[in-house]
Chains A and B, each alone.
Chain A
Amino acid sequence: MNANSPPEYAVRMENITKRFPGVVANQQVALRVQAGAFHAVIGENGAGKSTLLNILYGRYQPDSGRVFLHGQEVTQSLHSPADAIRNGVGMVSQHYALIPALTVLENVLLGAEPTGFGGVLKCRAAITRIHELANQLQIASLDVNQRADTLSIAAQQKVEILKALYRGANILLLDEPTATLAPQEAESLFTLLRNLVEKGTTVLFVTHKLREVMAHSHAVTVLRAGQNAGDFITAETNEAELLHCMIGARLNSAGQPLIPFGDVTETEGYAGDTWAATRPAVSGSPLLQIEGVTVRNSRRVEVVKSATLELMHGEIVGVAGVDGSGQRDLAEAILGLQTVSIGKIFLEGSEITDDTVAQRYQKGVAYIPEDRHRSGMILDFSVTENYTLGHHREANWGGGTLIHPPIMTAHTVAMIQQYDVRISELGALIPARSLSGGNQQKIVVARAIQSAPKLLVACQPTRGLDVEAARFVYRTLEQARREGLGILLFSLDLEEILQLSDRVAVMFNGKIVTVLPTAQATPEEIGAWMTGAKAGGTEA
């Protein structure tokens, strides 16, 4: 290293620009991570954090800019994850984690296989090494011959870290690592990561949870709309400053940053910490009754196990749980998308267990699916067609056998104005694919509540949305609730659940393990139920 070189950075990215069709994901972005640091990259959804991480891992090639690892320029040789791995970079990704059908051993070895004659795998030494690493990472009782999909999400993540270390990674990248973890699991993950940092690994993680950043990181890089918005030493900053930096000039009338639940106080007339806390207690007759519902999946495994739950008119019940605890199956059973094996479902006292989806819609059930791209919309259909889906039989949409484009368009144009969907002049006719995530979600939400349903099953209604779009969803739901709508809110975002819900139901391993009034629920308490640390009978 020559005399005028800067202090040793494990990662140095300069002037990174990356364009995707229609968007500039990163514009002249710089990122400098000191060797051995615990470094956070924060920003809203769509700020370009993941893109930056993926460039560093060789999954995307930047349009321009330079990448240095430990002072060595690697811009020209970083064309694939294989190149990144060779340079000591490991990544724990949000979506493409382990391969479910392979064993833990196969997953760890994949791409770094020790082989003997004729390409035959030689596993013995590798297994010893894996157990050493597992001890070091304090992963208890790891069975390497277990299929990866039999592990919990938290355990899978740890195996992914192990996999990176097995390849000799000294720079570890994590993309939203706590998005689907219970609070205790997240805590345990950070303990593990801190240990790694103490042993000299550089850890770089992407998140939008400021609390994690403040609690664990050494330094923070903030991105906003694809550009650098600031660099901070964690010890010298605070949450408010970071938040301000993250969302920039979007302030409310009182000069406070716009945050999801923030300025409802003056605009909606609420006071207090949460929306739910300010509501009068819910009373009246039950809207939805789920009685001992068991759902089996296509392999006849019970994914929901005798779930019992009640929802009143005008009430929001949040359903919390670690990802994959049976939430989706329960939601789909209420909608009629999955068959109920045992048990009954009642809407306003009359049974709907055997009704078709269309019959349930007619009786006032509405749905916000968790994945707007896969099941929420048909992306190549126009905005109008998407908005019409599911309502096409209704009388005020024309009814009958034929669809009625003028009526559909009129309804859609009215919706576009009412919900301020940002769209070009020809708006109603362009394919839904061309809209931003926030605007797509507005259409999905508007479609669900436009026929004044009685019950709304909302699954992850703000997933992947920026603050403004999330606020819109919250306010729309709250508005509809005040008009008497009962909402069953399935979410992996505990904060969202605690803010919106009157009561919180927790699912663990297919069971509803508890139902608590939100006032008595703390994140720790809910986390304990989510991970099975607390167990008990169902209470109402």
Chain B
Amino acid sequence: MGNGWLMALVTSTLFNATPLALAAMGGVLSERAGVVNIALEGFILLGAFVGFYFGLHSVFMGVLAVVVAGALFGLLHAFFTQKARMNPVVSGLGLNLLIAGATRYLALRLFPQGDHIAGLSPNLFLSLAAVLPFLLVFTLQQTKFGLRLRAVGENPESARMAGISPILPRYMAVMLSGICASIAGAYLSMADAHTFTSDMSAGKGYVALAAVIFGKWNPLGAAGGALFFGFFYALQTQLQINQYHLNWLGVEWTSPFLLDCLPYVMTLLALVSVIGRATPPAALSQEE
């Protein structure tokens, strides 16, 4: 116990925050471009599945497949919301359900015996999650792509008046968003569990979205949010590992079932506290 426990908690926080931060960067990209993206959850699961399946052949194939699949499903979400004018929540929900069902079915068909892979080092993902927020801040603030992305996210009609077609920045943003989130999923299957299980995203996409709001749509803020929520995932795990017990008012508060709720309860509390103070990109709330 003592210092060892603390170190374990810090390390665990970082690694729990890694997939959240990666997915949250996807959320920032999509939402700053004015496209609500609850499909992050599905994209994570997609990345986890594809990374594992192709990772069985070779790690390189796995990573390539994750990027391609993320981009394709991002493109699908962009197409549904931009071209087919579908409500982004409906499109995102549809994609989430589709991916959850399809991966569950395919996992049963393709590897019923529950294979394992050597996969990749978690440190690789951790480094990416540490660098990406800064890269994103630079891209959004200092590049032409970033400026156009923010412009179409704030007011697509004004952007059009300035001679920009909102289509390209939005497609790009949502595709990149898909890539980020599926890399987050690849972390879960290739670097953390070394296997794939159904629904292994377990709400991390939604928590990542909460981190985006918590961070006021700023990449660094969202990464901070990911750390914050990652801490409670880690705390919950550490409490369970150490078999800490707390009985109060006749409730076993340290029951694994209740502890599992901790990150989500904290998500709710954190969001309640930022409501009214966070200003989303203007076009997010204008979707008809």
B282 at interface by CB-CB < 8 Å: yes
A119 at interface by CB-CB < 8 Å: yes
Q: Which of A18-26, A94-102, A466-474 is the interface stretch?
A: A94-102
Q: A81-B160, A81-B162, A112-B163 are in contact. List 14 more A-B contacts (CB 8 A).
A: A82-B165, A86-B163, A96-B157, A96-B160, A97-B158, A98-B158, A100-B282, A101-B281, A106-B150, A110-B151, A111-B148, A113-B147, A119-B143, A163-B162
**Cα–Cα distance between A111 and B162 once the two chains are bound (Å):** 6
Whether A110 contacts B154 by the Cβ 8 Å rule is no
With A109-B147, A119-B143, A121-B142 in contact, do A102 and B163 touch (Cβ < 8 Å)? Answer: no
**Cα–Cα distance between A91 and B163 once the two chains are bound (Å):** 11
B134-148 CB mask vs A (1 if < 8 Å, else 0) is: 000000001111011
**Cα–Cα distance between A224 and B276 once the two chains are bound (Å):** 47
**Cα–Cα distance between A113 and B162 once the two chains are bound (Å):** 11
Interface residues of B in 92-142 (CB under 8 A from A): 142
Among A93, A96, A120, A298, which residue has its beta carbon within 8 angstroms of that of B143?
A120
Chain B contacts for A86, CB-based, 8 A: 163
Whether A102 contacts B150 by the Cβ 8 Å rule is yes
Among A107, A109, A119, A163, which residue has its beta carbon within 8 angstroms of that of B145?
A119
Whether A99 contacts B151 by the Cβ 8 Å rule is yes
Interface residues of A in 111-169 (CB under 8 A from B): 111-113, 115, 118-121, 163, 167
Among B148, B150, B159, B161, which residue has its beta carbon within 8 angstroms of that of A93?
B161
**Cα–Cα distance between A464 and B152 once the two chains are bound (Å):** 28
Among B143, B154, B155, B160, which residue has its beta carbon within 8 angstroms of that of A80?
B160
B59 at interface by CB-CB < 8 Å: no
**Cα–Cα distance between A266 and B154 once the two chains are bound (Å):** 52
Minimum C-beta distance from A115 to chain B (A) = 5
Whether B163 contacts A96 by the Cβ 8 Å rule is no
Whether B147 contacts A100 by the Cβ 8 Å rule is no
Q: Which of A57, A93, A98, A99 has the most CB of B within 10 A?
A: A99
Whether A298 contacts B159 by the Cβ 8 Å rule is no
B164 at interface by CB-CB < 8 Å: yes
Chain B contacts for A107, CB-based, 8 A: 162
Whether B147 contacts A106 by the Cβ 8 Å rule is yes
Residue of A nearest to B139 (CB): A119
Name B's A-contacting residues (CB within 8 A).
142-145, 147-148, 150-151, 154-155, 157-165, 276, 281-282
Whether A99 contacts B163 by the Cβ 8 Å rule is no
Whether A100 contacts B165 by the Cβ 8 Å rule is no
Residue of A nearest to B157 (CB): A96
**Cα–Cα distance between A470 and B5 once the two chains are bound (Å):** 75
Interface residues of A in 69-103 (CB under 8 A from B): 80-82, 84-86, 91, 93, 96-102
Among A84, A98, A121, A298, which residue has its beta carbon within 8 angstroms of that of B147?
A121
Among A59, A101, A106, A120, which residue has its beta carbon within 8 angstroms of that of B160?
A59
With A111-B163, A298-B276 in contact, do A99 and B144 touch (Cβ < 8 Å)? Answer: no
Minimum C-beta distance from B34 to chain A (A) = 12
With A99-B155, A102-B151 in contact, do A110 and B162 touch (Cβ < 8 Å)? Answer: yes
**Cα–Cα distance between A111 and B161 once the two chains are bound (Å):** 9
Q: Which of B144, B158, B161, B282 has the most CB of A within 10 A?
A: B161
Chain B contacts for A121, CB-based, 8 A: 142-144, 147
Chain A: number of interface residues, binned into ranges? 20 to 34
Whether B145 contacts A99 by the Cβ 8 Å rule is no
**Cα–Cα distance between A32 and B57 once the two chains are bound (Å):** 69
Minimum C-beta distance from A339 to chain B (A) = 13
Residue of B nearest to A85 (CB): B163
Whether B158 contacts A111 by the Cβ 8 Å rule is no
Minimum C-beta distance from A124 to chain B (A) = 13
A-B contact pairs, 30 of them (CB 8 A): A57-B161, A59-B160, A80-B163, A81-B160, A81-B163, A82-B165, A84-B163, A85-B163, A86-B163, A91-B161, A96-B155, A96-B160, A99-B155, A99-B159, A100-B282, A102-B154, A107-B162, A109-B147, A110-B164, A111-B162, A111-B163, A113-B144, A115-B143, A118-B143, A119-B144, A119-B145, A120-B144, A121-B143, A121-B147, A167-B163
A45-68 CB mask vs B (1 if < 8 Å, else 0) is: 000000000000101000000000
Q: Which of B142, B143, B155, B158 has the most CB of A within 10 A?
A: B158
Q: Which of B145, B147, B165, B281 has the most CB of A within 10 A?
A: B147
Chain B contacts for A106, CB-based, 8 A: 147, 150-151
A341-363 CB mask vs B (1 if < 8 Å, else 0) is: 00000000000000000000000
Whether B151 contacts A80 by the Cβ 8 Å rule is no
Whether B148 contacts A110 by the Cβ 8 Å rule is yes
Chain A contacts for B151, CB-based, 8 A: 99, 102, 106, 110
**Cα–Cα distance between A112 and B147 once the two chains are bound (Å):** 11
Chain B contacts for A167, CB-based, 8 A: 163
**Cα–Cα distance between A102 and B155 once the two chains are bound (Å):** 10
Whether A82 contacts B164 by the Cβ 8 Å rule is yes
Chain B contacts for A102, CB-based, 8 A: 147, 150-151, 154
Chain B contacts for A100, CB-based, 8 A: 154-155, 282
Among B142, B154, B164, which residue has its beta carbon within 8 angstroms of that of A111?
B164
